[in-house]
Amino acid sequence: MLSRLLSHVPHIIFKPAYDMYEDYLLERVKGGRIPNHVAIIMDGNRRWARKLEKPPWYGHLFGSQKLEEILEWCRELNIRTLTVYAFSTENFKRTPEEVNALMGLFEEKFKELLTDERVHKYGIRVNVLGRKELLPENVRKAAEEAERATRKYSSYTLNIALAYGGRSEIADAVKDIVRDALEGRIKPEDVDEELIKEYLYYPNMPDPDIVIRTGGEERISNFLLYQIAYSELFFVDVYFPEFRKIDFLRIIREYQKRQRRFGR
């Protein structure tokens, strides 16, 4: 019993100092340049669950709860757009048990968005980016209902990349451009970078200022390949369910120190 009590002592001792540092960072960040668009590769859910000797769905559940926290952090800093990588086209290759558990979680979360008072109070628009035709019908319908219910909102935007691949997005855009060119709606000389953006899954979405990947891996994994040409990249070692507000604030603070030249 005594050993269990003592195991909590460091947390009790250091929490006030942690809270003070978080408040200090928050004020410093608020006084600097705030990114308009943050994108996150939410990596490490399964490894976090494995560390706790739990099944993969356990990590994905806690990852979904972490996303809700991050939405609050973004709102607190007035970050207008958040894009998260939830499920790639390659993720369909995982075991049927894990894919089915994830699809059930996606359906549940989309339905929760419909009645979440924060979504309607703060005007959060939900967009689902990806090949939605690959999703089970129940998930696709829940996603489309969440999009319809929030389409009128414009204060904040939550983009969920689901059944998504950066190369697939570019390929699908090229197909649509070729089709419209063959049908005479556009001319070859009309095709430039801005026109291509009109054909992406979310037309004319602002490019991310920051891309964060949790979980310790340092690669993009086919995420927003067209949009992140000049984004600032940050890789952190913590698994996504363990990602803390202080980690988020440190990244924003580091972003504020960088000079974005855009090739100039």
Kindly list the catalytic residues.
43, 91
- The answer to whether the annotation marks 150 as part of a ligand binding site is no
Three-class DSSP category at 162: strand
Find, among 157, 53, 158, 155, the residue nearest to 109 by Cα: 158
Find, among 200, 151, 204, 154, the residue nearest to 177 by Cα: 200
**Residue 35 DSSP code:** P
Q: Give the separation between CA 64 and CA 56, rounded to whole angstroms.
A: 13
- The answer to whether the annotation marks 90 as part of a ligand binding site is yes
- The answer to whether the annotation marks 213 as part of a ligand binding site is yes
- The answer to whether the annotation marks 13 as part of a ligand binding site is no
Three-class DSSP category at 79: coil
What is the torsional sign of CA 162, 168, 173, 177? Answer: negative
Q: Give the separation between CA 142 and CA 124, rounded to whole angstroms.
A: 17
- The answer to whether the annotation marks 264 as part of a ligand binding site is no
Q: Give the separation between CA 226 and CA 168, rounded to whole angstroms.
A: 11
- The answer to whether the annotation marks 57 as part of a ligand binding site is no
Three-class DSSP category at 65: helix
In the 3-class helix/strand/coil scheme, how is 82-118 assigned residue by residue?
EEEEEEECHHHHCCHHHHHHHHHHHHHHHHHHHHCHH
- The answer to whether the annotation marks 43 as part of a ligand binding site is yes
- The answer to whether the annotation marks 36 as part of a ligand binding site is no
Which letter, b or e, does each residue of 123-149 get, where b requires 16 or more Cβ atoms within 10 Å of its Cβ? ebbbbbbbebeebeeebbebbeebbeb
- The answer to whether the annotation marks 83 as part of a ligand binding site is no
- The answer to whether the annotation marks 260 as part of a ligand binding site is no
- The answer to whether the annotation marks 220 as part of a ligand binding site is yes
- The answer to whether the annotation marks 258 as part of a ligand binding site is no
Say if residues 163 and 140 touch (Cβ distance below 8 Å). Answer: no
- The answer to whether the annotation marks 221 as part of a ligand binding site is yes
Known binding-site residue numbers for substrate: 44-48, 60, 88-90, 92, 94, 213, 219-221
Residue ranges for the known binding site for Mg(2+) are 43, 232
Tell me the binding residues.
Answer: 43-48, 60, 88-90, 92, 94, 213, 219-221, 232
